[in-house]
Amino acid sequence: MKNENLYKYILGIADNSLILGQRLGELTGHGPSLETDIACTNMSLDLFGQVRSYYQYAAKIAGDNRTEDDIAMLRKEREYVNVLLVEQPNTNFAYTMARQFLFDVYHLLFLQELQKSKDLTLSAIANKSIKEVSYHLRFSSDWIKRLGDGTEVSHQKMQDAIDGLWTYTDELFHQTEADIAMVSDGIGVDVTKLKDAYYNKVKAILDESTLQTPESKWFQKGGKKGIHTEHLGYLLAELQYMQRAYPNMEW
Amino acid sequence: MSEEQIKNLETQFEARIARDEKIEPKDWMPEKYRKTHIRQMSQHAHSEIVGMLPEGNWITRAPSLRRKVALLAKVQDEAGHGLYLYSACETLGVSREELYEQLHSGKAKYSSIFNYPTVTWADMGAVGWLVDGAAIINQVPLCNTSYGPYARAMVRVCKEESFHQRQGYEIMIKLANGTPEQKELAQDALNRWWWPSLMMLGPTDAESIHTEQSMKWKLKRKSNDDLRQQFIDQTVPQAELIGLTIPDSDLKWNEERQSYDFGEINWDEFWQVVKGHGPMNKQRMKARVGAWEEGEWVRDAAMAYAEKKQERKQKQAI
Amino acid sequence: MSDKKNWPLWEVFVRSKNGLEHRHCGSLHAADEDMALENARDVYTRRSEGVSIWVVESKNITASNPENNGEMFEPAHDKVYRHPTFYDLPDEVKHM
């Protein structure tokens, strides 16, 4: 592939939205209220919309006959390069919102930079996605506050969720080889530069929500290299089921 | 109020409906009108909410991204429709929580069709095509029903649902025109969903208890049997068009009636499922009750937070 | 903390496009006004139905009572002089 770094770079962005969208999709019909259920499905739909734009672009770059669905559903476990954070399960609504929030803060910062990319397709996708993700962040931050500063029970559950997911935040700022190459071409975003803004923003919301910002310095990594938590395999088993069980068919 | 006065009000009330006037929440209405409407609207709302489950079952396994977003949007619409209908119910002074309580305790019914399992992807096609198809036939006339909030909710519902049946039929077209294996999936789904879809339009007129009163109040414009005939007449050609066979050996075009004759419906099965003995009754309720109970601490937290925020605002104002 | 309370009911008004008035489009449940706005956005503007939303808690709406419809609304029926058609104009005056 001529543009292999660009291809890999796009997957690095899009896989996050794919896996997070899939996780949110699991909840449709099971939310704590009808209104909240509808809202979470909206976020899932936004993310899948983004995924399709990215993968369609990636398929074009690959230049063989692969489709968005081939990219989404026909890779092996080790070929997905999403961060570990987004594949964590919907343990309870606190986990779902904490995962969303910890990703949204990053996602918005990232897209604001990607908008400036020399690659016009990426910059256009970023431009459209920013509006969606700004709303996601508003929605998830509000829930962090409600649950953090709600009842004793909700405070405890939200603190547990933040503590449990914290270990996956640092990976957001790791760079792959494709990242480094794309940054030097003026196409990619230097994520290392987003780190301070990220932790400042997260801390500000957690403070407002009466939650403790974890101090642990031990972080998990590997997602960007395709080494995932055990959760991803099951998620992929569902995501890929039809394409694997009925190969080479149109739907 | 004396009995005569009530009679008088009732006569005026029926006359208003006969003149096609809408009844609004604060208008005087006979107690029976109120109760019948709470029952029908809540049953309708429950059906939307429980109806999310069989289709929600395939969201994570949809075979393509295009199908996945369409299915997500459809199931989400069902949540919206449940919400509109619960809201319409609430105008009659019953809260959503009370309505949930009735659903969860088994006191309230919902459409029995959702007690059948969705076992293959083709079921997403069959449900959209047949179940939504039958639902539309039931629902379109309700846009003109006599109770204002119900009629307005139904206008919104019907407008949004217009893509649902197409979504299902398109899935069936793809399968029917696909590989032999795919076509078999489609035929199998049609075989399993055909009869329950016919049952969905309700018991035969001879056994239907509420019909006459409901006709007067425009809760119903056509009898169950007429609706069923309409559904069959419009669906059979759609099956033929994509080369699928309706699983009814008695199905035959009747030139004289300009309609299809069809075979005997297994009403025993229908009543068994209504009574709770369908393949999925227990699982559906478990999922609904589970979501509601697991959500309790979340809803409580949001209320507690809202109160704290309100207090802080008031303190600031002083 | 107070006794168990459910999310109250809110009425939603949506301006469908710039220049038009807000119209009532339905109701929903939410714990507070911020959530009511967000829920209204997610429930009632999924198909680009709006450019502006108002929410108001249902209990804050004061409604007229249909029993008083006679005294409230009928007196206006015979005040035809409030309408332009009440006034005679010579045919020559085409626009007024």
Q: Give residue limits of the domains in chain A.
A: 4-245
Find chain C residues with C-beta within 8 A of B87's C-beta: 9, 26-28
A239–chain B Cβ distance below 8 A for any pair: yes
Between these two residues, B191 and C68, which has the higher pLDDT value?
Answer: B191
B89–chain C Cβ distance below 8 A for any pair: no
B303–chain C Cβ distance below 8 A for any pair: yes
pLDDT for the residue B162? 84
Which H or E run contains A112? helix A93-114
Contact C29 A33 (CB under 8 A): yes
How far is it, in rounded angstroms, from Cα A3 to Cα A9? 10
Report the gap between the CA of A143 and the closest CA in chain C (Å).
9
How confident is the model over A120-138, as pLDDT tens digits? 999 999 999 999 999 999 9
* Amino acid sitting at position A225: K
**Among chain A residues, CA nearest to C42:** A39
C73–chain A Cβ distance below 8 A for any pair: no
Q: Where are the alpha helices (DSSP H) in A119-227?
A: 120-148, 152-166, 177-184, 195-208
How confident is the model over B53-76, as pLDDT tens digits? 999 999 999 999 999 999 999 999
User: Which residue among B63, B179, B304 sits closest to A151, beta carbon to beta carbon?
Assistant: B304
How far is it, in rounded angstroms, from Cα B56 to Cα B60? 8
How far is it, in rounded angstroms, from Cα C89 to Cα C85? 9
Q: Which residues contact B301 (CB under 8 A, 6 or more apart)?
A: A146, A147, A150, A151, A153, A154
How many residues does the structure list for chain C?
A: 96
- Asked if residue A66 has pLDDT above 90, the reply is yes
A111–chain B Cβ distance below 8 A for any pair: no
Pairing mode, if any, of strands C22-29 and C52-57? unpaired
Report the gap between the CA of B16 and the closest CA in chain A (Å).
35
How far is it, in rounded angstroms, from Cα B258 to Cα B239? 18
Tell me if C42 sits within 8 A of C30, measured CB to CB. no
Q: Which residues pair with B261 in a beta bridge?
A: B252
Q: How many CB atoms lie within 10 A of CB B292?
A: 19
Token pair of B51 as six digits:
């109806």
User: Which residue among A146, A154, A251 sits closest to B174, beta carbon to beta carbon?
Assistant: A251
Residue B54 — φ and ψ, nearest 5°?
-60, -35
- Asked if residue A30 has pLDDT above 80, the reply is yes
Pairing mode, if any, of strands B259-261 and C9-15? unpaired
pTM of the model: 0.96
Tell me if B103 sits within 8 A of B288, measured CB to CB. yes
Token pair of A18 as six digits:
């794919």
Q: How many CB atoms lie within 10 A of CB C95?
A: 4
**Among chain B residues, CA nearest to C67:** B27
Report the gap between the CA of B162 and the closest CA in chain C (Å).
13
Q: Where are the alpha helices (DSSP H) in chain B?
A: 3-18, 31-56, 65-90, 96-104, 122-126, 132-139, 148-176, 180-200, 211-216, 224-241, 267-272, 281-294, 296-317
Report the gap between the CA of A138 and the closest CA in chain C (Å).
9
pLDDT for the residue C3? 58
Contact C6 B299 (CB under 8 A): yes
Find chain B residues with C-beta within 8 A of C1's C-beta: 304, 307
Find chain C residues with C-beta within 8 A of B310's C-beta: 32
How many residues does the structure list for chain A?
A: 251
- Asked if residue C1 has pLDDT above 70, the reply is no
Which H or E run contains A238? helix A231-245
Report the gap between the CA of B264 and the closest CA in chain A (Å).
34
Report the gap between the CA of C21 and the closest CA in chain A (Å).
25
Find chain B residues with C-beta within 8 A of C63's C-beta: 26
- Band of residue C43 on the pLDDT scale cut at 50, 70, 90: very high
* Most A CBs within 10 Å, among C1, C33, C38, to test the A interface: C38
CATH 1.10.10.10 matches A4-245: no
Report the gap between the CA of B8 and the closest CA in chain C (Å).
15
Q: How many CB atoms lie within 10 A of CB C32?
A: 21
Beta carbon pairs, A and B, within 8 Å: 137
Q: Where are the alpha helices (DSSP H) in chain C?
A: 33-44, 69-73
Judging by beta carbons within 10 Å of its beta carbon (0-12, 13-18, 19+), is residue C81 exposed, middle or buried? exposed
Taking a contact as any Cβ pair under 8 Å apart, which residues of chain B between 140 and 179 contact chain A? 171, 174, 178-179
pLDDT for the residue A184? 97
Contact B310 C6 (CB under 8 A): no
How far is it, in rounded angstroms, from Cα B260 to Cα B239? 14
pLDDT for the residue C2? 45
How far is it, in rounded angstroms, from Cα B281 to Cα B275? 9
Q: Please state which of the ranges A45-49, A64-68, B22-26, C83-87 shows the lowest mean pLDDT.
A: C83-87
How far is it, in rounded angstroms, from Cα B41 to Cα B39? 6
- Of the candidates A90, A176, A189, A107, the one whose C-alpha atom is nearest the C-alpha of residue A141 is A107
Contact B309 C32 (CB under 8 A): yes
Find chain A residues with C-beta within 8 A of C36's C-beta: none
Which H or E run contains C15? strand C9-15
Percent of chain C with pLDDT over 90: 76
- Of the candidates A178, A147, A139, the one whose C-alpha atom is nearest the C-alpha of residue A47 is A139
How confident is the model over B229-238, as pLDDT tens digits? 999 999 999 9
pLDDT for the residue B318? 79
Angle CA C68–C73–C76, to nearest 5? 150
Q: Where are the alpha helices (DSSP H) in B201-260?
A: 211-216, 224-241
Question: At which residue do the structure tokens 């009869």 appear?
Answer: B195
Contact A38 C42 (CB under 8 A): yes
B307–chain C Cβ distance below 8 A for any pair: yes
Judging by beta carbons within 10 Å of its beta carbon (0-12, 13-18, 19+), is residue B126 exposed, middle or buried? buried
Which H or E run contains A244? helix A231-245
Q: Please state which of the ranges A121-135, B107-121, C11-25, C78-92 shows the lowest mean pLDDT.
A: C78-92
**Among chain A residues, CA nearest to B171:** A251
Contact C28 A35 (CB under 8 A): yes
B311–chain A Cβ distance below 8 A for any pair: no
Sign of CA dihedral B103, B108, B111, B117: positive
B79–chain A Cβ distance below 8 A for any pair: yes
C7–chain A Cβ distance below 8 A for any pair: yes
pLDDT for the residue B46? 98
Report the gap between the CA of C51 and the closest CA in chain B (Å).
18
**Among chain B residues, CA nearest to C2:** B304
Contact C7 A138 (CB under 8 A): no
